[in-house]
Amino acid sequence: MFDVSQLHKLVAEGVWVFRHPGVTVACRPLHFAEAAKAADIEATRFHPSTSVSAFESMISGQNSCCCGVFVNDTLVGCASANITPAADEYPSEAFIDNISLLTEYAGCGLGLLLTAYLLKFCSASPFGSARATLEVRVGNTPAKRIYARFGFTCHGIRKRYYSHPTEDAEIHWLENMQEPAFQDVLLDAVSHALEMFHVKQLQRSGDMQ
Ligand SMILES: CC(C)(COP(=O)(O)OP(=O)(O)OC[C@H]1O[C@@H](n2cnc3c(N)ncnc32)[C@H](O)[C@@H]1OP(=O)(O)O)[C@@H](O)C(=O)NCCC(=O)NCCS
């Protein structure tokens, strides 16, 4: 079982590392040299997908962040956001650009964990985002469950926004990311994600026996 007593410390730090017997899960910002790997992962889940050069721009950009989730040092998922800095009375906003997990690592909590990491990253210094927005396919149940857990709510529909296959997009917004209560939401999400991962590990080791 992951040592969840360390969660407060981990959530406060720039790199999250969770150790489990036989497997280590980590979330951290991607390095420039990892752009091609991130593009490869996204290409397995999105069409059209983000190019390597677009990932390079997000990794090196001042108003963007791009991060990954690693299982035993292998990159298995990536996520990125573009930040609109605060201006006048308007707070900083994060536009969540993409979140993708390799199919073989989907469904075991890592998408939720990576989203928690990305939102923590956007809300922390130097970005200090107070709001976040994203688009999601109306039928994308796993993604919508993740977003609902953080408090995202639907504020509109873009008709036929997606292709391959054609589908409407829901426009979601999350507010109050600078409120202290949002830190508790992040911690709960991380805890739930690690519990899901733990249960999946137990199932896998049971299947192998
Ligand atoms: C969407 C995606 C990031 C979710 O990541 P994931 O690791 O598979 O999801 P998790 O295991 O963290 O599960 C998140 C939630 O979805 C639920 N879920 C997972 N797979 C599911 C499925 N196939 N059907 C229904 N619910 C599912 C989980 O039970 C969990 O819900 P809970 O928190 O209420 O218990 C991932 O599946 C993916 O990369 N999909 C393709 C790209 C994509 O659609 N990205 C989002 C674009 S907006």
- Domain boundaries along the sequence of the chain: 4-208
DSSP 35: H
Angstrom distance (rounded) from CA 181 to CA 51:
36
pLDDT at residue 66 in the model: 97
pLDDT at residue 192 in the model: 95
- Burial of 119-152, coded b for 16+ CB within 10 Å and e otherwise, reads bbbbbeeebbbbbbbbbbeeeeeebbebbebbbb
pLDDT at residue 158 in the model: 97
What string of H, E and C letters represents the secondary structure of 38-71? HHHHHHHHCCCCCCHHHHHHHHHCCCEEEEEEEE
Q: Whose CA is nearest to atom 40 of ligand 1?
A: 100
| Candidate list 105, 117, 147, 162, residue with the active-site label | 147
CATH entry 3.40.630.30 includes domain 4-208: yes
Q: Return the ∠ at Cα 140 (arms to 204 and 146), rounded to 5°.
A: 65
Angstrom distance (rounded) from CA 61 to CA 65:
7
Q: What distance in angstroms lies between residue 45's CA and the mean position of ligand 1's atoms?
A: 12
Question: Does any ligand 1 atom lie closer than 6 A to the CB of residue 144?
Answer: no
Full-model pTM? 0.96
pLDDT at residue 209 in the model: 63
Tokens 């609902």 label which residue? 148
Run of H or E including 196: helix 180-208
Q: Give yes or no: 135 in active site.
A: yes
pLDDT tens over the chain, length 209 residues: 666 667 777 777 789 999 887 899 999 999 999 999 999 999 999 888 999 999 999 999 999 999 999 999 999 999 999 999 999 999 999 999 999 999 999 999 999 999 999 999 999 989 999 999 999 999 999 999 999 999 999 999 999 999 989 999 999 999 999 999 999 999 999 999 999 999 998 888 777 66
pLDDT at residue 208 in the model: 66
pLDDT at residue 170 in the model: 98
Is 187 in contact with 8 (CB distance < 8 Å)?
A: yes
* Residue from 101, 161, 186 whose mutation best tests the ligand 1 pocket (most atoms within 8 A of CB): 101
pLDDT at residue 10 in the model: 76
Is 84 in contact with 95 (CB distance < 8 Å)?
A: yes
Q: What distance in angstroms lies between residue 118's CA and the mean position of ligand 1's atoms?
A: 15
pLDDT at residue 203 in the model: 85
Question: Does any ligand 1 atom lie closer than 6 A to the CB of residue 47?
Answer: no
Q: Whose CA is nearest to atom 21 of ligand 1?
A: 142
pLDDT at residue 129 in the model: 97
Question: Does any ligand 1 atom lie closer than 6 A to the CB of residue 69?
Answer: no
SS3 206: helix
